[in-house]
Amino acid sequence: MLIYVSGGSGSGKSAFAESLVVRSGLEHRAYIATMVPFGAEGQARIARHRALRAGKGFATIEKLRGLADINVPTGCAALLEDLTNLFANEWFGTGEQDGDPKTAAEHVLRGLERLKSQAALTVIVGNDLFSDGMDYDAGTAEYLRALAALNCAAAAMADQVYEVVCGIPILHKGNPDIKGARQP
Amino acid sequence: MTLVIGGAGQGKLEYVLSQLHVGKDEVSYDPEAAKTVLTGLETWLRGETEPIPVLERLLKERPHVVILCNEVGSGVVPMDRDDRAWRERVGRTCCTLAERADCVIRMYCGIPSILKGEPEWN
């Protein structure tokens, strides 16, 4: 079971994604962290997410890139947060090397397939970055197009797709009949 | 309280005024002076970093107030630190209000979708 959860900044998507894992009743819970902690703001963001997860029994796996060779316990619930960071890390590297968008997207999608084959429930958090109506430079525009295509591919793989709006999940795809999922 | 969200220009205020049968004289942009309708919450949040106590007071005084807020979180992460903090604050404030709200409505191209509860004007 693969569930894709997306939403804007501050929409409550992380809390909802965690609730899907917790309510699945699956005993082993893996949190796959993807964020490179840049500066005080990045640290604060990570601290906020850690506090949110505290006491929910997640084992944290840091995977800034290279999701395609990840190993999680068979039959666990895996929460990947988030697709945007992972894709950027795969594409631009984490400092040591650079890639290209096509290869980066392939790596991410292979990683999702692998997670799906190992975990009983995989929840992927994505970001909606596509509705501010602004014109960006060619590089940013290329990044946005590639990320949007990756999000669409992840949603296509997913059994369920949710958009979270001010903490309220809106189901766009699938049936909310698994344990843990609920209809808005 | 009813919370109405949606992107800019999606018809939030027009919809609310038509449902409530009130005019623009019932509309406020300041939670401390709000009567029936509080709109432009995202603009007020620009200058307010601790919004919840102020909004709590409003809810106590006006439990049936209708609050309108633009959705601003679905874009590229802003370059400016204050813009990033504001954008996040708008999102978190709306999460808190949605939890408290009896009804949450999202406007899209002038079309309302009910995300929570029942509109009080039904």
Contacts with A, B 46-75, CB within 8 Å = 71-75
A183 belongs to a structural domain: no
CATH number of the domain at A87, please: 3.40.50.300
Please tell me the predicted confidence (pLDDT) of residue A25. Answer: 93
Mean pLDDT throughout A133-141? 89
A34 belongs to a structural domain: yes
pLDDT digits (tens, 9 = 90+) for A87-113: 999 998 866 567 889 999 999 999 999
Please tell me the predicted confidence (pLDDT) of residue A180. Answer: 44
Closest of A35, A34, A27, A24 to residue A159, by C-alpha: A24
pLDDT digits (tens, 9 = 90+) for A37-68: 888 888 888 888 888 888 888 999 999 989 99
A78 belongs to a structural domain: yes
A113 belongs to a structural domain: yes
> In A, which residues are within 8 Å of B88 by CB distance?
9-10
A181 belongs to a structural domain: no
The residue range of the domain holding A59 is 2-173
- B3/A166 touch (CB, cutoff 8 Å), yes or no: yes
Tell me if the bond preceding B82 is cis, omega within 30° of 0: no
A9 belongs to a structural domain: yes
Cα–Cα distance for residue pair A117/A119, rounded to 1 Å: 6
A123 belongs to a structural domain: yes
> In A, which residues are within 8 Å of B77 by CB distance?
9, 129
The structural domain count of chain A equals 1
Cα–Cα distance for residue pair A59/B102, rounded to 1 Å: 37
B2-116 sits in which CATH class?
alpha beta
For B95, the closest of A128, A140, A166 (CB atoms) is A166
Give a three-class secondary structure readout of B67-82.
EEEECCCCCCCCCCHH
A33 belongs to a structural domain: yes
The interface pTM score, or ipTM, of the predicted complex is: 0.88
Closest of A170, A179, A129, A121 to residue A12, by C-alpha: A170
Please give the residue of chain A at the shortest CA–CA distance from B106.
Answer: A165
> In B, which residues are within 8 Å of A168 by CB distance?
98, 104, 115-116
The pTM of this model reads 0.90
pLDDT: which is higher, A172 or A41:
A172
**Alpha helices (H) in A57-160, listed in sequence order:** 83-92, 101-118, 138-157
Distance from CA of B17 to the nearest CA of A (A): 23
pLDDT digits (tens, 9 = 90+) for B17-73: 999 999 999 999 999 999 999 999 999 999 999 999 999 999 999 999 999 999 999
Please tell me the predicted confidence (pLDDT) of residue A97. Answer: 63
Q: Which amino acid is at A34?
A: T
DSSP state of A170: E
Q: Which amino acid is at B12?
A: K
Distance from CA of B5 to the nearest CA of A (A): 9
> In A, which residues are within 8 Å of B5 by CB distance?
165-166
DSSP state of A129: -
Mean pLDDT throughout B64-83? 95
> In A, which residues are within 8 Å of B87 by CB distance?
9-10
Query: With contact defined as beta carbons under 8 Å apart, do A3 and A122 qualify?
Result: yes
